[in-house]
A and B are shown apart, each in its own frame.
Chain A
Amino acid sequence: MSDRPDIPPDDSARAAEYVLGLLPVQEAREMRAELGQNAALRAEVLAWERRFADIAENEVEPVTPPAGVEAQIMAHLFREERRPWWQRFGLGQVVGVAGLAAIVALGVLFYSNLTQPLLVPEYTAQIVGEGDSLILSAALDADTGELLITRDIGTVTTGRAQELWLIAGEAAPVSLGLLAEDTETVLNVPQDLAARFEGGVLAVSDEPPGGSPTGAPTGAVLAVGEVNTI
């Protein structure tokens, strides 16, 4: 260890505070900028990460997570193969439409009393937050007004709510409802609103429990996505 260049104690302490998250926001920001220039400081930050991780490795007891967690992670990451049909559009629309037509035809043949008819969604959107911290897929079936939102990445902060908004043209955002904490949320969109999806934008805002008290977004915009027409 003597071969490692010595770093002034103040810098070492600052590196430790940075790793622990004890530095005020501004100082942490400056520190991060400095890390790009200062190799010794960078090495010290990494050394502290190791020292603290060693504490965790020694002191934290392993706890086997419930089996469902692994399944959910795998479904999250590797869902392409079994992605629902409304998300496959765009990859091979022609095949998709032809295949879908065949499925519908089969469905009609074999299940004459389908409770949920397979209808093609007219509008889809990927609603993405900064740094991909929140990613949602939305698909609207304009005939039924059913809007399906799938939570691909991100969660709802405890004690807060996420509200979905349609921004059509110059008009003020219109609330479409609150997003569930689950993977899927289904919202019912009234006909007059569904008609305004084309060329619109969907946005998710952070709101108090129960949603915006004012009818307009009050919290930070967490994610935004343009509506695509199929």
Chain B
Amino acid sequence: MTARTDLETLMARLVLKDREAFRALFSATSAKLFGVCLRVLKDRGEAEDALQEVYVKIWNRADRYSSTGHSPMTWLITVARNHAIDRLRARRADSDIGDPDLVLSDPAPGPEARAIAAAEARRISECFGELEQARADAVRGAYFEGASYAALAERFDVPLNTMKTWLRRSLMTLKDCLSR
């Protein structure tokens, strides 16, 4: 994987509609993003379609990247995951969440955001390991499968409100661990 600074240079060039930079970004990042699409959609053909759409979005919306304060990989993964989830929910008529309501937020960047991001990235696996297996799986289910609270409650065979409490607690444990 290309070093982060290289990806940052490519992202900056992308905003200027530099096609060579786009090609370079594709070869450096497409395997990871294809992995994300596959993980969410679990269907090769659909993941290929999603990947195409993801890179069209990346090309068209590169100007939004810098305002998030994200690292390039964080932004790219977020675009890919959200798009794949959109597709998954469009496919799934039984969703009780209704229309996907996931758009990239583009607020002003926090100045210390990047430093924090780098520090947290190193710890995320460790902190995830601190959660009980089932609870970590519930968080994964929500992130990678777009599972609703109702779907998660059914899967883990707990009442809906218990599921909500569980997941919220797990998220707070994760956050606390990351900020230790």
Measured CB to CB, the residues of A under 8 A from B are 1, 3-4, 9, 12-13, 16-17, 19-25, 28-29, 32, 35-36, 39, 42-43, 45-47, 49-66, 69-70, 72-74, 76-78, 153-155, 157-159
What is the interface of chain B mostly: helix, strand, loop, or mixed? helix
A62 and B108 in contact, given A12-B172, A32-B101, A51-B178 (Cβ under 8 angstroms): no
The verdict on B158 contacting chain A, using a C-beta distance below 8 Å, is no
Tell me the complex Cα distance, A1–B89, Å: 35
Tell me the complex Cα distance, A180–B30, Å: 27
A51 and B174 in contact, given A65-B30, A69-B51 (Cβ under 8 angstroms): yes
| A12, A23, A56, most chain B CB atoms within 10 A | A56
Tell me the complex Cα distance, A159–B94, Å: 14
Please give, as numbers and ranges, the residues of chain A lying within 8 Å of B69 by CB-CB distance: 46
Tell me the complex Cα distance, A69–B59, Å: 15
Q: Which 6 A-B pairs have the closest CB atoms?
A: A62-B31, A28-B101, A42-B107, A54-B124, A53-B74, A65-B34
A-B contact pairs, 10 of them (CB 8 A): A4-B112, A12-B171, A12-B172, A23-B101, A24-B97, A56-B39, A60-B35, A63-B31, A77-B22, A159-B91
Please give, as numbers and ranges, the residues of chain B lying within 8 Å of A39 by CB-CB distance: 107-108
Contact of B121 among A16, A24, A43, A57 (CB under 8 A): A57
Nearest-neighbour CB distance to chain A for B132, whole angstroms, equals 16
Within 8 A of A (CB), among B101-145: 101-103, 105, 107-108, 110, 112-113, 116-117, 119-121, 124-125, 128, 139-140, 142-144
Please give, as numbers and ranges, the residues of chain B lying within 8 Å of A4 by CB-CB distance: 110, 112, 116
Contact of B113 among A28, A43, A64, A157 (CB under 8 A): A43
CB pair B31 A25 closer than 8 Å: no
CB pair A20 B112 closer than 8 Å: no
Q: How large is the interface on B (under 10, 10 to 19, 20 to 34, 35 or more residues)?
A: 35 or more
Contact of A21 among B73, B74, B97 (CB under 8 A): B97
The verdict on B78 contacting chain A, using a C-beta distance below 8 Å, is yes
Query: With A21-B102, A59-B125 given, can you name 6 additional A-B contacts, CB distance below 8 Å?
Result: A3-B112, A20-B143, A32-B101, A42-B107, A46-B107, A61-B35
Within 8 A of A (CB), among B1-40: 1, 19, 22-23, 26-27, 30-32, 34-36, 38-39
Please give, as numbers and ranges, the residues of chain B lying within 8 Å of A58 by CB-CB distance: 124-125
Tell me the complex Cα distance, A4–B120, Å: 13
CB pair B70 A13 closer than 8 Å: no
Please give, as numbers and ranges, the residues of chain B lying within 8 Å of A57 by CB-CB distance: 32, 73-74, 77, 121
Nearest-neighbour CB distance to chain A for B80, whole angstroms, equals 8
Contact of B38 among A3, A24, A46, A63 (CB under 8 A): A63
CB pair B119 A1 closer than 8 Å: yes
Please give, as numbers and ranges, the residues of chain B lying within 8 Å of A155 by CB-CB distance: 49, 53
Tell me the complex Cα distance, A45–B105, Å: 8
Please give, as numbers and ranges, the residues of chain B lying within 8 Å of A73 by CB-CB distance: 26, 52, 55-56
CB pair B105 A70 closer than 8 Å: no
Tell me the complex Cα distance, A157–B10, Å: 32
| B31, B124, B172, most chain A CB atoms within 10 A | B124
Q: Which residue of B lies closest to A68 (CB)?
A: B48
CB pair B59 A77 closer than 8 Å: yes
Within 8 A of A (CB), among B49-82: 49, 51-53, 55-56, 59, 68-71, 73-74, 77-78, 81
Please give, as numbers and ranges, the residues of chain B lying within 8 Å of A157 by CB-CB distance: 90-91
CB pair A43 B110 closer than 8 Å: yes
CB pair B101 A51 closer than 8 Å: no
Please give, as numbers and ranges, the residues of chain B lying within 8 Å of A53 by CB-CB distance: 70, 73-74, 77-78, 81
Tell me the complex Cα distance, A51–B78, Å: 10
